[in-house]
Amino acid sequence: MRIAALGPEGTFSHELAVKISGGSGVLLLPTIKRVFDEAESGRSLGLVPVENSDAGGVGETLDGLMDTGCRIIAEYYMQIRHNLASDGVTAGGCRVIYAHPQSHAQCSRFIEDLGIPVIHTASNADSAQLALKNSGSCAVTSLSAAKISGLEIISPDIQNSENNITRFVLISSDRGEPSGENYGVPEMAFTSGRKKCSIIVDPEIDRPGLLYSILGVFAGENINLTKIESRPSRRGIGSYVFFIDFEAECVEKLISSLKRIAKVKELGCYGREEV
Amino acid sequence: MRIAALGPEGTFSHELAVKISGGSGVLLLPTIKRVFDEAESGRSLGLVPVENSDAGGVGETLDGLMDTGCRIIAEYYMQIRHNLASDGVTAGGCRVIYAHPQSHAQCSRFIEDLGIPVIHTASNADSAQLALKNSGSCAVTSLSAAKISGLEIISPDIQNSENNITRFVLISSDRGEPSGENYGVPEMAFTSGRKKCSIIVDPEIDRPGLLYSILGVFAGENINLTKIESRPSRRGIGSYVFFIDFEAECVEKLISSLKRIAKVKELGCYGREEV
C-alpha cells in the first residue's frame, strides 16, 4: 500500500516515506490533516511526525490522532540535520531567512546569532524554493530539499542539539494486526513486535487528584509510561486530554481499569521499525 | 514600567499590552525570545501568550520560562476572534491565504473548507500586511491588525471554537512581591492575590512511576493541579520536564517535598488580572 506523507519533495517526511515504502509509492500531500484524511479513507497508509526531541509535540498530528479513526501501526526515529542554504549568497550576505516554524525552533540559537529577520513557511522544501526565487535570501532546510532546489549548503548542521531526533508514526484505518503482508508492503518488517501502546485519556470532568488516579492505574500494574503530553480538550481553557505512551505486553486489564475513571481512546500497540 | 510584547502593531499581544500598560508605554519586539530577554534585563516587564484553548501551549514561551530567570507576576485571559480580511477581494476570490501558524490551527475548519493554499507568517499583523501587498490574497487576522492595514473584514469570527481563549502571563526579572507600585504601574491592580503557582519539575533521571510520585506529593497535600504539560528536556528523545500549575496559599512545604524527588524551578505565584 502506498504511503501518504507531508510534501512537497524534500521534506523529512518525504525522505522517510521513500525509505520505508519499498517501491509501493509515496503520495505527497500539502498538510498533515490531509495525510490523516487519506489514511482514514483506507486508500493509503500515512506517515506523520509526532514529536521532536527539541521542539516537542506536533500539534497537527496530535489533533489528527484525536479526531480521526486512524491507528498507529509502527514508529520510526529519524536523526534531523538542518542546514543554512542559499543560491550563491554567503551567511553574512543573507538579508532574510526562510524557515518552517519547527525548523526555526530547532535552530533558534544559530538564527538568533545571525540577527536576520525570519519568514515562516509551510515546509522546509518551501523554504528552499523561496530562497531560490528571492535574491539575497537564505533557507533553513534539509540536505535533500537543498539538493532538489539546487541550493548550496553554506552552514551545515545548524540545529541547536547534535542529538536532534524526530519520532514519526505510521498510521492506518485498518483495525487488524499490523503486518507487512496485510499492507501489501512485504519489505516492511514489523519485526520488533508490539512493545509500545498509545492512548488518549479524557477525564471529561475535572476533579482534584484525577490525573494522580489515572497514573495510579499504571503504577498498580507496574507499567512504565514513556510519555505523557497534555493537549486542550477544546471544551474551554484549562480543560485537557492526555496522550499517554507506555510499554506493555497485555493491555486489556489496564484499559478496562482506566475506563472506570476516564474516557479512553486506544491508538494502537506497535513496534519500533529501523530505517 | 513599560511592557514589552510581541509586535508588530495589531497582534493580540500588542492589544492586551496597551490595555494593561496604563500609559507606561509598550515596546514591541519581533520574537517572544526577545520579549524574554528584555524582561530579564530588568528594563521592561514582558507580556507573552502561554496557551490557547484550541491550539495548546506556546512552545517559545515555555522555552523562555525554562531558559531565563523571568518569573510570572500575573495572568490574563483574552477572548480571541479571528477574521478573514482582504483589500477588496471576496472570500471566493482569494487565491492564497496568509496566516500565522497558531491562527491557522485555530481556524483550521474554515480554512480547510475554502481549500486555498496557506502561507505561514510570523504574526497576524504580518499576514494583514502581506494581504495588502499581494493582490488576490487574503489574511487571517485580528480586527485591530485589519484596521491598521486598512483591510476589509470579509468573514468575521472564523475561529473553530466560539470559546477561543488565550492565556497570557506578565513576566519580570524582579524577585520581590508583585505590586503595581513596585513596577511603577499603579493602574495595575494585582488585587486578586496569589492564587495560582507555576513550577517546572525536571525528573533528571527517568524511572518507572516517577511522575506518579510527583503527583502524589500534590495529592498528599490536597492541592489541585490546574495544568500539567510536558516539554522536551532537550537531553534526547523521550526525556521530558513538566510544567505544572496549581492552586495553593502556601507552597514552601510542597516545594521542599518535591525537591526530594526531582529538580524544581519556581516560576512564581500570582493572581488573575481582569482587563
The CATH number of the domain holding residue A36 is: 3.40.190.10
Same domain, A74 and A209: no
B188 pLDDT above the threshold of 90 = no
pLDDT at A124: 87
The answer to whether the CB atoms of A229 and B229 lie below 8 A apart is yes
The Cα of B156 is separated from the nearest Cα of chain A by a number of Å equal to 20
B100 pLDDT above the threshold of 90 = no
B-chain residues near A224 (CB < 8 A): 208-209
- Confidence band for A169, pLDDT divided at 50, 70 and 90: very high
Same domain, A169 and A73: yes
B180 pLDDT above the threshold of 90 = no
A-chain residues near B223 (CB < 8 A): 208
Domain boundary among B111, B136, B155: B155
- Confidence band for A112, pLDDT divided at 50, 70 and 90: confident
The answer to whether the CB atoms of B236 and A165 lie below 8 A apart is yes
List the single range of B6-10, B68-72, B101-105 with lowest mean pLDDT. B101-105
A34 pLDDT above the threshold of 70 = yes
Residue B223, CB half-sphere, CA atoms under 13 Å: how many?
26
Residue B191 in any domain: the answer is yes
pLDDT at A179: 60
Residue A188 in any domain: the answer is no
Tens of pLDDT, residue by residue over B155-166, are 999 998 888 899
Same domain, B13 and B63: yes
B-chain residues near A33 (CB < 8 A): 108, 112
Average pLDDT over residues B72-100: 93
pLDDT at A244: 95
pLDDT at B64: 95
Q: Containing domain of residue B215, as a range?
A: 3-79+165-272
Give 3-state DSSP helix, strand, coil % of chain B, rounded to 5: 30, 30, 40
Residue B132 in any domain: the answer is yes
Same domain, A1 and A38: yes
Q: Which of A105, A163, A227 sits opposite B236 (nearest CB)?
A: A163
The pLDDT > 70 percentage for chain B reads 93
Average pLDDT over residues A220-237: 88
The Cα of A82 is separated from the nearest Cα of chain B by a number of Å equal to 16
pLDDT at A17: 95
Tens of pLDDT, residue by residue over B12-29, are 999 999 999 987 899 999
Instruction: Calculate the average pLDDT of chain A.
Output: 89
Residue A24's alpha-carbon distances to A19, A76, A169, B36, in angstroms, are: 11, 18, 18, 48
A72 pLDDT above the threshold of 90 = yes
Same domain, A128 and A264: no
> Which grid coordinates are listed for A14?
518525504
A-chain residues near B212 (CB < 8 A): 212, 215-216, 218-219
Q: Which residue has the higher pLDDT, A220 or A187?
A: A220
- What is the bridge-based pairing of β-strands B137-141 and B96-99? parallel
SS3 B254: helix
Report how many domains make up chain A: 3
Same domain, B120 and B218: no
Residue A70 in any domain: the answer is yes
Peptide bond into B49 cis (omega under 30): no
- What is the bridge-based pairing of β-strands B224-232 and B240-247? antiparallel
Same domain, A6 and A46: yes
Sequence-distant (6+) residues with CB within 8 A of A228 are A215, A242, A243, A244, A245, B211, B228, B230, B240
Q: Which of A108, A222, A230 sits opposite B229 (nearest CB)?
A: A230
- Confidence band for A261, pLDDT divided at 50, 70 and 90: very high
Average pLDDT over residues A84-93: 91
The Cα of B184 is separated from the nearest Cα of chain A by a number of Å equal to 31
The answer to whether the CB atoms of A237 and B167 lie below 8 A apart is yes
Tens of pLDDT, residue by residue over B51-73, are 998 888 998 899 999 999 999 99
Domain boundary among B155, B182, B199: B155
Same domain, A118 and A244: no
Tell me the C-alpha distance between A51 and B27, whole Å.
34
A185 pLDDT above the threshold of 60 = no
Same domain, B184 and B265: yes
Find, in chain A, the residue whose alpha carbon is nearest to that of B240: A227
- Confidence band for A188, pLDDT divided at 50, 70 and 90: low
The Cα of A78 is separated from the nearest Cα of chain B by a number of Å equal to 10
Residue A183 in any domain: the answer is no
Q: Which residue has the higher pLDDT, A38 or B164?
A: A38
pLDDT at A189: 54
Q: Which of B56, B112, B219 sits opposite A232 (nearest CB)?
A: B56
Alpha carbon distance, N-terminus to C-terminus of chain A: 18
Tens of pLDDT, residue by residue over B107-137, are 988 998 888 888 878 778 889 999 999 999 9
> Which grid coordinates are listed for B201?
519539575
Same domain, B68 and B170: yes
Q: How many Cβ pairs closer than 8 A exist between chain A and B?
A: 127
- What is the bridge-based pairing of β-strands B71-79 and B165-172? antiparallel
Max Cα-Cα span within chain B: 62
Same domain, A99 and A75: no
Residue A130 in any domain: the answer is yes
Residue B17 in any domain: the answer is yes
Helix axis angle for A210-220 and A252-259, nearest 10°, is 160
The Cα of B251 is separated from the nearest Cα of chain A by a number of Å equal to 17
Find, in chain A, the residue whose alpha carbon is nearest to that of B166: A237
The answer to whether the CB atoms of B212 and A211 lie below 8 A apart is no
Sequence-distant (6+) residues with CB within 8 A of B228 are A211, A228, A230, A240, B242, B243, B244, B245
Check: complex ipTM more than 0.90: no
Residue A147's alpha-carbon distances to A14, A128, A152, B262, in angstroms, are: 14, 9, 8, 45
Tell me the C-alpha distance between B121 and B99, whole Å.
6
Same domain, A219 and A112: no
Q: For chain B, where are the alpha helices, taking DSSP H only?
A: 12-21, 32-40, 59-67, 101-106, 108-114, 124-133, 143-149, 210-220, 252-259
Residue B124 in any domain: the answer is yes
A182 pLDDT above the threshold of 80 = no
Find, in chain A, the residue whose alpha carbon is nearest to that of B78: A237
**Cβ-contact A113, A94 below 8 angstroms:** no
Residue B109, CB half-sphere, CA atoms under 13 Å: how many?
10
pLDDT at A194: 60
Using CB atoms within 10 Å of the CB of residue A42, give its burial: 0 to 12 exposed, 13 to 18 middle, 19+ buried: exposed
The answer to whether the CB atoms of B51 and A112 lie below 8 A apart is no
Domain boundary among B118, B135, B155: B155
pLDDT at B115: 85
